[in-house]
Structure 1
């Protein structure tokens, strides 16, 4: 930027913007609304700069800033479940039709059968990556998407996923975990790419995928689970229970419940570990006891999880 750029107010705005972008880079957590505002200011400033100098490259930079602002704004709306300017939901956080619930169950079942690594941490991460890439086998990821899952060793898990060929991406694991919304990391899951005939492991289309991904993200990052410091196994249990409810939020079809061995295989965990996990969900107020609730997992009713209501369905 020329030191003698006129008008002075434009030069001061560009200097201040440079400082604020540098400050943003130092933030420990992204703020997409703030980032969108900075890009909007940059677009206006660079457009004015182009008017002063007649430089076409500055005009192109202003347009890129406008696009970056729109992208950051949409990401903010999607992550917070707010509405776009036209009043429509940015992402349908709660699934609204039986077909969408079937699609959610199909993703969880697919991961249960095809997860490349054992353990709840790995399965939770694979579910979220599958939902992010389900339609084309490709998607974008930022470090916060992984760090928010509160996994024990995310670096090792991602390294093992790339090492076995299930996941591919440019750069290193550290690059991925450090990436921010303004510069996400492109990722690929080769097994989810459509086959030559266009078919894939899932039947839902590109418009349904972000609904499923947004819903799952809302469940596993629910503030009640975060406050309770829920483990990956508990978050997986919450996901599975949420997909097994009827329209009123009651678990199991016709109040039949779910066999414990089936539920344990989905999580995955031992059947004996389900009771403490359900107790934790209840204490966190994520589940509410009905007539017969989680306390009836012992004794003669130990083969069934009986109905209780769930606030995220």
Structure 2
């Protein structure tokens, strides 16, 4: 009897990993970690180091200290317009596209007719890359053969939606928001499906209307989704590149920091050190927004 008890007790003890288990575990964890270091952290740290140098990719790497950053902020005219455009992207996606995606999610969640069709229609742009969205924008907003001017009947003196620097940034933002809205809608729709219906019933019993129920009961329960959507919005706004490059290579009113990085690193100038400095600035701004947003959300969770 005691022997059987000891055996049962032994079976309940912690399982020891065999050398084979450790090898498999090390492989499964080691390979992704190695890829993460090689593909993400390696180039990131290399960019930070190269931002303090002057290098054309072929010759000798020469240390220049902070000269690249001084030149970037004081002697490189495209920088500040590109920085303003990136902030405009962030404001437009965060204040227009994201709330509109939330509105669509709420409407679809209420069970309107043909809700599956609406979900598929609104989500369709998400499966397209921003480069493809850029080509679609050209078909719609082109001056001579665009669909928008054809619908407006503006054939005598057509509006140059993509050539006018006062207009093209807004047209491109509309195209980018078209894609971003569907992504946000799907995320919020998944969150709304997970809301406990009893919370809504309790709010209705207390006399709360639909609007009050949403803002005081439903929206606070979507805090985890808000964090995901917020981070995705910041990343999408600051890494934007494909669509403006497909329209006009990111020039004539569509300058972005990501385009400046590409132009300096792989362009004719091949100023890898200077382009790395722009990339470091973009990385710093991105981390600043993301970390600040996450800290605020974590503090909000602790105070609840």
Pair in the same fold by TM > 0.5: no
* Structure with the largest fraction of helix: 2
Name the TM-score, length of structure 1 as normaliser: 0.26
Q: Rg bigger for which structure?
A: 2
Name the TM-score, length of structure 2 as normaliser: 0.26
Greater RCO (CA < 8 Å, at least 6 residues apart): 2
